[in-house]
Structure 1
Amino acid sequence: MSVFNLLRDPWIPVVTACGRMREIAPAGLTEGIGGDAIVDLAWPRADFRAAGMEFLVGLLTTVFCPEGNSAWARWWNAPPSPQVLAEGFAAFERAFDLDGEGPRFLQDGGDLGTETSPVSGLLIEQPGANTEKNNADLFVKRGGVTVLSRKAAAIALYALQSFAPSGGAGHRTGLRGGGPLTTLVLPPQADAGRQTLWHLLWLNVVPLFDMDAVGAPLDKPQKTFPWLGPTRISDKGGVETTFNDMHPAQCFWGMPRRIRLDFEPNRDGLPCALTGIVDDVILRSYRTRPYGVNYQAVPHPLTPFYRVKPGSEPLPVHPQPGSISYRNWPNFTQSRADGTREPAQCVRVAGARIKGQTRLRLCGYDMDNMKARGFVEAEMPLFFCSSQQKQTRLEGLVAALVEAASEVSRLMLSQMKAARGGDGAELDVIRESFWAETEGAFFALLASAVARFEARHEAEEDTETAASLASEWLENTLRPAALAIFDRHVRADAVMVNANDLNAMRALVLARSLLASALHGAGPSGKSLYKSLGLMAPEPKRTAKGGRK
Structure 2
Amino acid sequence: MSLLTEDWMPVRYRDGCRAWVAPSELADPRIVAFDADRADFNGALVQFAIALLQTSTPVVEPDDWDFWFEDPPDSATLTAWFSPLAAAFEYDGEGARFLQDFELRAGRGVSFEIAGLLIEAAGEQSVQRNTDHFVKHGQVAGMCPHCALTALLTLQINAPAGGSGHRTGLRGGGPLTTLVLCHPQRSLWHDLWLNVRSRSEFLASQGDPRKAAPHFRFPWLREIGAIQPDGGETSPLLVHPDHVFWAMPRRIRLDLTDTGLGDCDLCGRHCDRLIRRYETKNHGLNYKGPWNHPLSPYYETKEGWLPIHPQPGGIGYRHWLAWVMGVATQQKGRRPATVVSHFLAHLFPRAKGQRRLWAFGFDMDNMKARCWYEATIPLYGLADCQPEAQRQAQAEVGRWLAGAELAASCLRSAVKEAWFGKEARGDLSAVEAGFWSRTEPEFYRQLESLITSLRSDGDGDSRVDRLPVRAAWHRNLIDTCESLFDGEFVGVAAIERQNMRRVVKSWHRLRANLRGPAIRKALGLPDAEGPGTSNKAKGASAAPRAS
Out of 137, 140, 147, the residue aligned to residue 145 of structure 1 is 140
* CA distance in 2 between partners of 1:385 and 1:91 (Å): 36
- Is 2:418 aligned against 1:419? yes
**Deviation, structure 1 residue 541:** 4.7
Scaled by the length of structure 1, the TM-score of the pair is 0.89
Where 2:304 maps in the other structure, the secondary structure is: coil
Where 2:203 maps in the other structure, the secondary structure is: coil
User: Sequence identity of aligned pairs in percent?
Assistant: 36
- Is 2:204 aligned against 1:204? no
Query: Counterpart of 1:306?
Result: 299
Query: Counterpart of 1:404?
Result: 403
The aligned runs of 1:290-439 (5 Å cut-off) are 290-297=282-289, 298-309=291-302, 312-337=303-328, 340-351=333-344, 352-354=346-348, 357-383=354-380, 384-386=382-384, 387-421=386-420, 424-425=425-426, 427-439=428-440
Query: Counterpart of 1:154?
Result: 149
**Deviation, structure 1 residue 124:** 0.9
Query: Counterpart of 1:517?
Result: 512
- Is 2:284 aligned against 1:284? no
Retained in 2: the 8 A contact 1:232–1:293? no
Moved over 4 A (4+): 211-214, 233-237, 422-426, 492-495
Scaled by the length of structure 2, the TM-score of the pair is 0.89
Query: Counterpart of 2:482?
Result: 483
Query: Counterpart of 1:546?
Result: none
* CA distance in 2 between partners of 1:287 and 1:542 (Å): 72
**Deviation, structure 1 residue 24:** 1.1
Where 2:496 maps in the other structure, the secondary structure is: coil
Retained in 2: the 8 A contact 1:420–1:494? no
Retained in 1: the 8 A contact 2:206–2:241? no
Aligned pair count reads 518
Partner AA of 2:5 in structure 1: R
**Deviation, structure 1 residue 44:** 0.5
Where 1:395 maps in the other structure, the secondary structure is: helix
Question: Any idea what the Cα deviations from partners look like across 1:443-475, whole Å, max 9, x if unmatched?
Answer: 1110111111112132622441x3222111112
CA spacing shift, 1:421–1:159, aligned 2, 3 Å: same
**Deviation, structure 1 residue 116:** 1.6
CA spacing shift, 1:125–1:418, aligned 2, 3 Å: closer
**Deviation, structure 1 residue 295:** 0.5
Query: Counterpart of 2:536?
Result: none
Q: Which runs of 5+ in 2 are unaligned?
A: 534-538, 540-547
CA spacing shift, 1:492–1:78, aligned 2, 3 Å: closer
Retained in 1: the 8 A contact 2:439–2:477? yes
Q: Which runs of 5+ in 1 are unaligned?
A: 499-503, 521-525, 544-548
**Deviation, structure 1 residue 530:** 0.8
Retained in 1: the 8 A contact 2:117–2:152? yes
**Deviation, structure 1 residue 415:** 2.8
* CA distance in 2 between partners of 1:321 and 1:236 (Å): 37
Where 1:263 maps in the other structure, the secondary structure is: coil
Retained in 1: the 8 A contact 2:143–2:264? yes
CA spacing shift, 1:220–1:486, aligned 2, 3 Å: same
- Is 2:172 aligned against 1:180? no
Query: Counterpart of 2:248?
Result: 255
The aligned runs of 1:465-484 (5 Å cut-off) are 466-475=466-475, 477-484=476-483
CA spacing shift, 1:110–1:385, aligned 2, 3 Å: closer
Where 2:388 maps in the other structure, the secondary structure is: helix
CA spacing shift, 1:238–1:419, aligned 2, 3 Å: closer
- Is 2:56 aligned against 1:59? no
Retained in 1: the 8 A contact 2:106–2:255? no
| Segment drifting more, 385-394 vs 397-406 | 385-394
Query: Counterpart of 1:135?
Result: 130
Retained in 1: the 8 A contact 2:205–2:241? no
* CA distance in 2 between partners of 1:461 and 1:116 (Å): 65
Where 1:279 maps in the other structure, the secondary structure is: strand
Partner AA of 1:5 in structure 2: S
Superposed CA RMSD in Å reads 2.5
